[in-house]
Chain A
């Protein structure tokens, strides 16, 4: 079992729709959770981080965390073609090492 699992996609949504990206993790001791966006050929950039169960909103982005289910998600509202990228889920277990999932490719169709 991989430590951080994501559906590789591609996930295709029309412009203006809500994109829902999901991630599960194996270490119950995980404490910090991150979503990074990575455009093709570029390095990852942080979109959001979340530590506590529940929802965290930042603009068009909402991160959701459920530690009991070992599940974290990212919702993108009013999706734009510029949101088309690979979204990486990353998990920190409380030490210094952050483990990344393989990423989900998102395509937003104009």
Chain B
């Protein structure tokens, strides 16, 4: 296991289309986070899973966003009816505690 894996690395989509991103955390990590980062800003918290349970969802996440972690392993983040404002880097991180979180390489979304 070489770390947190995210796919795809890049996604270009037309406005109004749906997109889905996948995150495979480090295998023994029970905590998984999704963050969104735009240019010049730090990562913004989107949602958190402990095992398969989604324990927190940011108010930044509109109803168009949904995340799942069905078996407590990989997670998906879906954005429906994408808007240009959704263009950002979507980062996944995993950890076993409140200490170090390991980030994946991110999925860069461009909505045209």
Contact = CB atoms under 8 A, between A and B. Distances in A.
Interface string A89-105: 01010111111111100
A88 B55 contact: no
Interface residues of A, number: 24
Interface string A17-38: 0000000000000011010000
Given A43-B105, A49-B100, A100 B55 contact: no
Given A32-B98, A97-B48, A88 B42 contact: yes
A44 B103 contact: yes
B69 interface: no
Interface string B48-76: 10100001100000000000000000000
A95 B40 CA distance: 26
A45 interface: yes
A102 B40 CA distance: 7
B40 A8 contact: yes
Contacts of A31: 98
A88 B103 CA distance: 13
B55 A42 contact: no
B98 A100 contact: no
Contacts of A98: 33, 45, 98, 101
Interface centre among A43, A96, A102 (most CB of B within 10 A): A43
Interface of A: 4, 8, 31-32, 34, 42-46, 49, 88, 90, 92, 94-103
Given A102-B41, A103-B40, A103-B42, 20 more contacts: A32-B98, A43-B105, A43-B106, A44-B91, A45-B103, A46-B100, A46-B102, A94-B98, A95-B98, A96-B31, A96-B48, A96-B55, A96-B56, A97-B45, A98-B98, A99-B45, A100-B43, A102-B40, A102-B42, A103-B41
